[in-house]
Amino acid sequence: MKRHILMVVGMAYFGLPILAAAPNFSGSWVKDNSKSDPVPNPLMLRETPQARGGGGGGRGGQGGRGGGPMPMVVSQESNSLQVTEPQGGMRKYMLDGKPHSTAMETGVQKAAVTASWQGDMLVVSSTEPYGGMPGNVTAHIKEVWSLSPDGNTLTIATTRTIPAVEKTYKEVYTKK
């Protein structure tokens, strides 16, 4: 036992990381439209729990009082992440890697949402009924969140898949 403790202390002393800390996405983020891909037409792939409240099929965007870009606000704690969209929509993810049931826009159907760390990236995956009637078809949405080394640029790469259609796009945000 003493030998094991000495090894751990020795590793910490010589600068070898024992556990890497997860990035913290907290802050106000403004979408950089010049670096972001266009968000797919919501008629092709309808909105999901992740994109709800984004207005016009996506997150971020322009508008509101004052005419300037409105920020997306992210609050992160050790086990959860809450996102408040510029238009007021809110979503919360539990960062435990387990599926959690989330009510969809209609309030009738539910999506299964899982958020987990893969290295220094946060991966949010959801599976939800698609097509109007429960059980018709399933839509799969995957968001990969990553921060630049300086922590001032947030990139969210999203892939939305329904039968016969897959759309991938990226959104880039700058810390305000």
Residue 136: per-residue pLDDT = 74
Q: Which residues, in sequence order, are bridge partners of residue 77?
A: none
Residue 103: per-residue pLDDT = 86
Nearest to 171 by CA among 80, 50, 49: 50
Q: Give the pTM.
A: 0.75
- From first to last of the 176 residues of the chain, give the pLDDT tens digit: 444 444 433 444 444 444 567 899 999 999 999 999 998 865 454 444 444 433 333 444 444 445 567 899 999 999 999 999 988 889 999 999 999 998 887 777 889 999 999 999 999 999 988 766 555 788 899 999 999 999 999 999 999 998 888 999 999 999 99
Residue 145: per-residue pLDDT = 98
